[in-house]
Structure 1
Amino acid sequence: MKRTLVLLLMMQTATLSYAQKQSQGKTSGNPIFPGWYADPEGAIFDKTYWVYPTYSAPYDKQVFFDAFSSKDLRTWTKHAKVLDTANVKWAKRAVWAPSIIKKNGKYFLFFGANDIQNNHEKGGIGVAVSNKPEGPFKDYLGHPLVDQFHNGAQPIDQFVFKDKDGKCYLIYGGWKHCNIARLKDDFSGFLPMENGQVFKEITPENYVEGPFMFIRKGKYYFMWSEGGWTGPDYSVAYAIADSPMGPFKRVGKILQQDAKIATGAGHHSVMGSAKKDEWFIVYHRRPLDQTDGNARVTCIDRMYFDQDGYIKPVIMTNEGVKP
């Protein structure tokens, strides 16, 4: 009971901070919405911005996803419980790090569940589907898409990447290993690569978890999180390659704690316009007055590149971004 009250007070503090920033009216403010949320994936559907985060709570309570939408990156609408484990029979606890993609008029939400520790436990990476980005999402397969430890990668932190040729890949992995696998067109499983391999390891130096990939000017930017997710050293690094298969040589960190702003900045995503070359990084961080591992908030800031195509270090702000 005491811990519950403490968590409620902490969430109220975060809400007040959010309300104060929103009242300025000129920018999004950081965090962009109230409450403890982490591992955000940003997406753009029909000229609307969407963010799908983890509900950051103890694993036995982390059993649903909320989503948030905005037309201008400043004012956000909450869509409560777009997916609940009540609609996924095999998922009992700890759902996190959602990744979403639209295909053939449907929205597919990939997620990790149950925090399995070996090949004998039930859980892993699942898929849910809906006709609308706000859900409700329901289990698509009736079982996990990935439930084994291939190449040493815990089946968590899934990201769905669509290449220029329309092929889709699942990039995922915890425990300092990252795999890529080509998805079938209907997302029901995987297709083997030319050499017969299904799960190819693409782990770069210092990789821990939270993979993300995007294309800019013909180059593949592969990003990931380093450090421990409960600690102040959580951060984001990246590599650049000519193919989604790599090889990926680590360039360096672009997002990390700022003693004036927040700690534990990591597990991000990127959204924006390749045509306009305008990019935003969506990520979570821990307020300076918080030490609880689950006290994480979702933020957004601009992400810039230098003339050689390298990502400039992200400057975390309390102001966020302009509409």
Structure 2
Amino acid sequence: MKKLLFLLLLVASCGVKKQNNNPVFSGWYADPEGIVFDDQYWIFPTYSAPYDEQVFLDAFSSPDLVNWTKHERIIDTAEVKWAKRAMWAPSIIEKDDKYYLFFGANDIQSDEELGGIGVAVSDTPGGPYKDLLGKPLIDKFHNRAQPIDQFVFHDQDGQYYLIYGGWKHCNIAKLNDDFTGFVPYEDGTIFKEITPKGYVEGPFMFIRDGKYYFMWSEGGWTGPDYSVAYAIADSPMGPFKRIDKILQQDPEIATGAGHHSVIKVPNEDTYYIVYHRRPLTETDGNSRETCIDIMEFDENGHILPVKITNEGVEAHDLGE
């Protein structure tokens, strides 16, 4: 007995036990947008369920990427009168001490249906959020892009863009100062298509070393081939030439790894990829969990293939 106790203590002291931080929180959640506000990490995901049950959004906050607090029903269809179902893929930005949450709703299939991309506002990241317009911000198909999967991008010159699109088409549009509409480009158009080869949905953009990294999801969201690829350009307008796939399934870990976002730690060259995937034990398309793994670059600035793990990432306290 003494020998067994000694061995157990030895194992514990040597740190042999591995961390198991993926998924980062319990429940079926997908399409996660990760972001930093003040000294907190935040994740805004889709509640992954049948479309008619997707009538609200939750959010999660953490001081260290490991310990998460759930903020329930930060917005729902009771507040957004025009939204009936399929509230998903939230994107959030802070501007002038207000928090603007962009979301898709109703999964419209034509210009004749009510729905599309909406925007809500709150004084705090955890809500509650109020519908800003009382109607969708985008409710039509422009350049054949379904109005879903919105991402708000803040450029270095101060301009805010909305990048969005499903059905294998992606648009970029210049938001006006109060996010109630758009500013036309010099040629008078509002929606510019920037679709790269292989694009399906789930756009995301960030800047590193003066270069614009554009990322997106490929494959079918219910299948094992769901994945993430990327391109690099000198402008948010592109042109974006596909470089490679960097996130995909690992048949020993999980399938359907996609629809991601990226968290950059302030004042560090440290990047995390936040994404959803499907456990090997699950076959239901909505059985998706949110995970975080490290994302790294080579000496040329290319993104290295991400290794999806069950361990996830170690605690990284923003307050340090």
TM-score normalised to structure 2 length: 0.92
Q: Which runs of 4+ in 1 moved over 6 A?
A: none
Q: Given the alignment, which residue of 186, 195, 213 partners 2:178? A: 186
In 2, the alpha carbon distance for the partners of 1:190 and 1:224 equals 23
Q: Note if contact 1:261-1:316 (Cα within 8 Å) is conserved in structure 2.
A: yes
Change (3 A) 1:233 1:300: same
In 1, the alpha carbon distance for the partners of 2:54 and 2:148 equals 15
2:131 maps to a residue whose letter is D
| 2:313 is equivalent to residue 321 of structure 1 | yes
1:196 alignment partner in structure 2: 188
Q: Note if contact 2:43-2:60 (Cα within 8 Å) is conserved in structure 1.
A: yes
Identity across the alignment (%): 72
1:255 alignment partner in structure 2: 247
Count of residue correspondences: 300
2:3 alignment partner in structure 1: none
Q: Note if contact 1:26-1:322 (Cα within 8 Å) is conserved in structure 2.
A: no
2:213 alignment partner in structure 1: 221
CA RMSD between the two structures = 1.2
2:100 maps to a residue whose letter is F
DSSP 3-state at the match of 1:259: coil
- 1:103-139 C-alpha deviation (Å, 9 max, x unpaired): 0111000000000000010000000110010000110
In 2, the alpha carbon distance for the partners of 1:26 and 1:235 equals 27
Q: Note if contact 1:27-1:74 (Cα within 8 Å) is conserved in structure 2.
A: no
DSSP 3-state at the match of 1:60: helix
| 2:96 is equivalent to residue 104 of structure 1 | yes
Q: Given the alignment, which residue of 108, 114, 119 partners 1:116? A: 108
| 2:47 is equivalent to residue 55 of structure 1 | yes
Report the Cα offset of residue 230 of structure 1: 0.2
1:7 alignment partner in structure 2: none
DSSP 3-state at the match of 2:143: helix
In 1, the alpha carbon distance for the partners of 2:266 and 2:226 equals 28
2:295 alignment partner in structure 1: 303
1:87 maps to a residue whose letter is E
Q: Which runs of 5+ in 2 are unaligned?
A: 1-15, 316-320
The aligned runs of 1:1-323 (5 Å cut-off) are 27=19, 29-273=21-265, 275-323=267-315
Report the Cα offset of residue 25 of structure 1: 9.5
In 2, the alpha carbon distance for the partners of 1:26 and 1:199 equals 48
Q: Note if contact 1:258-1:316 (Cα within 8 Å) is conserved in structure 2.
A: yes
